[in-house]
Amino acid sequence: MPGEFDFIRRFLSHFPRARVPVGPGDDCAVLAPQRGALCVTTDAVVEDVHFTRAAFSPEDIGHKALAVNLSDLASMGCTPRWFVCAMAMPKDFPARELSGLARGMAALAREHRIALVGGNFTSARELSITIAATGELSRPPLTRAGARPGDLLYVSGTLGDARLGLQHLRSGVKRGAAVRRQRRPEPRVALGRLASRFASAAMDVSDGLAQDLGHLCSASRVQATVELERLPMTPAVRKALGPEGALAGGEDYELLMAVPQGRGQAFERACARAGLRVTRIGHFSEGSGWVCRDMTGRVLPPPAGFDHFRAPSAGLTLRNSKAKPVTLLLP
């Protein structure tokens, strides 16, 4: 088995040399930001919580570990620049799987031009990857707190696919678009930057729209109304989960955006020109929390959110998402 420094060399060999004053190998990396403000985030993927080694390839795991961080950077409207990667892995972790992890991560890093500048390896009982990523802002950040009454509510892409993919993996289906969304979430980095020219607030949908929209409303002190029939879903998700399932979702890594009414059309046109899919699914008003409206105009209470540290209780069948793989994928 290779030693710690062989592991580090092997891992780094998959990434281009970072163009920073001091890169990997010293006690710290040294960065030279060009603009004023930086965004920084951290997120982890843990074996048997966010992935299993049976259902995910090493490349999938490496991709996902970086993707969840890029999604946070995307939601602030910043340009990804640098990341550090802390790996915890069993002592018998195979070197070829480490290369797979690095390949998956390096491919996504290349796509989004973010440089690996440092990291850490430690032994642990279970595999986990914790990344901290930094981006540069050229405009004020898109926080969760900027939505105002009257703003329009947009969401990118489609909802519920990752949840459906998880169901497929659980039942032994290992291919298809939904499974790919679960294994290889695509952070909406280009959209986040574009949205920073139009939106008043944004966040990424990692725990399911049901929960995350609640956070946005609470941070902005507004109420949201979601029109159920407008929720963007693939035919497969519509059939298998329906709008309630898509709302509960989890791991969609789409962006929720609040856009002032007068900027809505320009925003939609800019997205169309850039080939980025967004759907207006509702609006904000005075108040708190959020409600759904069905096709008949009837107002429904939102499905319950998701909480990483609570077991799903029997009465809340929609309590699904990020951590659900623990229940769903483990034998």
Residue ranges for the binding site? Answer: 27, 41-43, 50, 72, 119-120, 144, 204, 206-207, 251, 306
Least spacing, CB of residue 137 vs a second copy, in Å? 7
Structure tokens at 34: 């060009």
Task: Name the one residue in this structure whose structure tokens are 């759907």.
Answer: 279
> Which of 107, 177, 190, 219 touches a second copy by CB under 8 A?
219
Distance from C-alpha of 78 to C-alpha of 80, rounded to nearest angstrom: 6
Please say which residue, 240 or 326, places its beta carbon nearer to a second copy: 326
Beta carbons of 212 and 201 less than 8 angstroms apart: no
Binding-site residues for Mg(2+) sit at: 27, 41-43, 72, 120, 204, 207
Least spacing, CB of residue 283 vs a second copy, in Å? 22
Binding-site residues for ATP sit at: 119-120, 144, 206
Strand partners, 122: 88
Least spacing, CB of residue 77 vs a second copy, in Å? 10
Instruction: Supply the DSSP symbol for 7.
Output: H
- Say whether residue 316 binds a second copy (CB under 8 A): no
Please say which residue, 130 or 234, places its beta carbon nearer to a second copy: 130
Least spacing, CB of residue 35 vs a second copy, in Å? 10
Instruction: Supply the DSSP symbol for 83.
Output: E
- Say whether residue 7 binds a second copy (CB under 8 A): yes
3-class state of residue 111 by DSSP? helix
Secondary structure in 3-state letters for 217-267: HHHHCCEEEEEHHHCCCCHHHHHHCHHHHHHHCCCCCEEEEEECHHHHHHH
- Say whether residue 268 binds a second copy (CB under 8 A): no
Beta carbons of 59 and 49 less than 8 angstroms apart: no
Size of the site for a second copy (CB under 8 A): 72
Residues 41-70 that bind a second copy (CB under 8 A): 41-44, 46, 48-50
Q: Which of 199, 180, 190 is nearest to 70 (CA)?
A: 190
- Say whether residue 295 binds a second copy (CB under 8 A): no
Please say which residue, 108 or 237, places its beta carbon nearer to a second copy: 108
Beta carbons of 206 and 322 less than 8 angstroms apart: yes
Please say which residue, 86 or 177, places its beta carbon nearer to a second copy: 86
Residues 107-166 that bind a second copy (CB under 8 A): 117-126, 128, 130, 132, 134-135, 137, 141, 143-145
Beta carbons of 277 and 271 less than 8 angstroms apart: yes
- Say whether residue 288 binds a second copy (CB under 8 A): no
Binding-site residues for substrate sit at: 50, 251, 306
Strands (E), 90-151: 115-123, 128-136
Distance from C-alpha of 144 to C-alpha of 220, rounded to nearest angstrom: 6
- Say whether residue 234 binds a second copy (CB under 8 A): no
3-class state of residue 47 by DSSP? strand
- Say whether residue 25 binds a second copy (CB under 8 A): yes
Amino acid at 302: P
- Say whether residue 276 binds a second copy (CB under 8 A): no
Instruction: Supply the DSSP symbol for 229.
Output: G
- Say whether residue 303 binds a second copy (CB under 8 A): no
The piece of 74-82, 161-169, 183-191, 231-239 that touches a second copy (CB under 8 A) is 74-82
Please say which residue, 44 or 276, places its beta carbon nearer to a second copy: 44
> Which of 114, 155, 191, 203 touches a second copy by CB under 8 A?
203
Structure tokens at 285: 């008003």
Tally of CA atoms within 13 A in the half-sphere of 323 that contains its CB: 9
- Say whether residue 38 binds a second copy (CB under 8 A): yes
Distance from C-alpha of 180 to C-alpha of 174, rounded to nearest angstrom: 9
